[in-house]
Amino acid sequence: MAKSSASYVCQSCGAATAKWAGKCESCGGWNTIVEEGAAPPLGSGATRRSKGRRFPLEDLKTEDAPPPRRVTGVAEFDRVTGGGLVAGSALLVGGDPGIGKSTLILQALGEYAKAGGHAVYISGEEAMGQVRMRAARMGLSAAPLMLGAATCVEDILATIEAGHPPGIVAIDSIQTLWTGALDAAPGTIAQVRTASFDLVRYAKASGAALILVGHVTKDGQIAGPKQVEHLVDAVLYFEGERGHHFRVLRAVKNRFGATDEIGVFEMTGKGLAEVANPSALFLGDRASAAPGTAVFAGLEGTRPLLCEIQALVSPTSYGTPRRAVVGWDTGRLAMILAVLDAHCGLGSGAGVGIGASDVYLNIAGGLKIGEPAADLAAAVALVSSFGGEPLPRDSVFFGEISLSGDIRPVPQAESRLKEAAKLGFKSAFVPKGTRVEAAGLSLTEIASVADLLRFGPQAGSRPVRRATIES
């Protein structure tokens, strides 16, 4: 009879090996492999399979009403979740240490309890006194929120199953939980997977909405097996830069709402304040008319969002030009520079072309953009900085750039233009073929990147300020 031997599992990526090693061959992490008990052999019980139970099959027609939502009262949080938490759903929230995950969840549950809901907050990292101090600072001391501190899954389930099922249960965090069914230490792959499965199963059976808080790795991914993200109904990431006072809650998976939806918060001494108009926050004070600054009319989920793209093109002091990007994809910047070199004539002249210069690109406010529609705004900011010509302050830009130099249309142009008009912009540079009604906006169609030379040097010319620097 085959014996069940121990296996070694990487706590970063979940890869299993037959023996211990200092470095994981799958993810490259050091000292991440931990010994765990192996599952019983595959054939140990497969031959004694019991007869299954038949279940009915149905068609796709349905007359069921949309699932009821449990609104927490924090508008930005409810927006990202799709209008509130669905009964019996499971939500996973991840973010960097100290970014404000616990503050956000405590605030959402406190507001829900103040509105008459039954909510339970289980802390596995902090003592109950620490949680009460945070609640007092946020003005939630009077909220009828049930609070507990435990790390054993069996104890948590026994406690919440003893009374009436709560509307919302929050576990902070899933990496601190452990179950007596396993010998592995808390935080290991097996413990996180088993604890998550038991809690999600309780949520589905009782109808309670479950919120799990998860740690993230150095790569920004939620620690533990990817199976946890597949198990839950929604995955949210709480993002923010240390040097900025705002935070962004972003949905990367949502079975009951839109993905890539964002909610914007401002970190204050009394907790997280909602930002109703994030476009005004990211634009800030734009009194300066310096070259290399363009306003991008973007879209995050269902919300139009305007932000400022800043570019600086300067002569290089080294043999290899430097590229520094904050908030955007470095590979996409390299593509835009190659297209400008090839189709705008900005690469002529040894040591003078835009591709041979140092390029710095920054999304103002620390926002991260992954939308291809930002290509046009980034390209025009680069051309403006390269030529030393400022852009119109009352204009917005959006459009996707192809390798042939053409500007391709982007979806939901009308929503972008309405947001720009609401904030007082007068003109918009859009891809050719954009047919929308833009009240109060003057539209200028851009067919190719060659049309961007109106904002910079003419094709083949040598910018005067660079000639002065190099002479």
The chain-wide mean pLDDT, for the chain, equals: 85
- Write down which residue in 227, 261, 276 finishes a domain: 276
pLDDT at 116: 93
In a domain, 57, yes or no: no
Q: For 464, list phi and psi in degrees, rounded to 5.
A: -65, -40
With the C-alpha atoms ordered 48, 51, 57, 63, is the resulting torsion angle positive or negative?
Answer: negative
The whole domain housing 9 covers 1-36
- The predicted-structure confidence for 176-210, as pLDDT tens digits, reads as follows 999 988 877 787 888 888 999 999 999 999 999 99
| Both structure tokens of 193 | 């997977």
Q: For 323, list phi and psi in degrees, rounded to 5.
A: -125, 120
Structural contact between residues 426 and 441, judged by C-beta atoms closer than 8 angstroms: yes
Residue 340: pLDDT above 80?
Answer: yes
In a domain, 50, yes or no: no
In a domain, 376, yes or no: yes
Mean pLDDT of 138-160: 94
Is residue 6 domain-shared with residue 89, that is, in the same domain? no
The pTM score is: 0.76
Q: Which residues are 338's β-sheet partners? A: none
| Both structure tokens of 332 | 């996409």
Is residue 336 domain-shared with residue 268, that is, in the same domain? no
Q: How many domains does the chain have?
A: 3
CA gap 270, 226 in Å, rounded: 34
- Write down which residue in 276, 306, 331 finishes a domain: 276
**Residue at token pair 């299954």:** 52
Kindly give the residue spans of alpha helices, DSSP state H, lying in 388-438. Answer: 413-422
Is residue 111 domain-shared with residue 258, that is, in the same domain? yes
pLDDT at 6: 66
In a domain, 246, yes or no: yes
Mean pLDDT of 341-366: 78
**Residue at token pair 């009879």:** 1
Side-chain-side CA neighbours of residue 80 (13 Å): 26
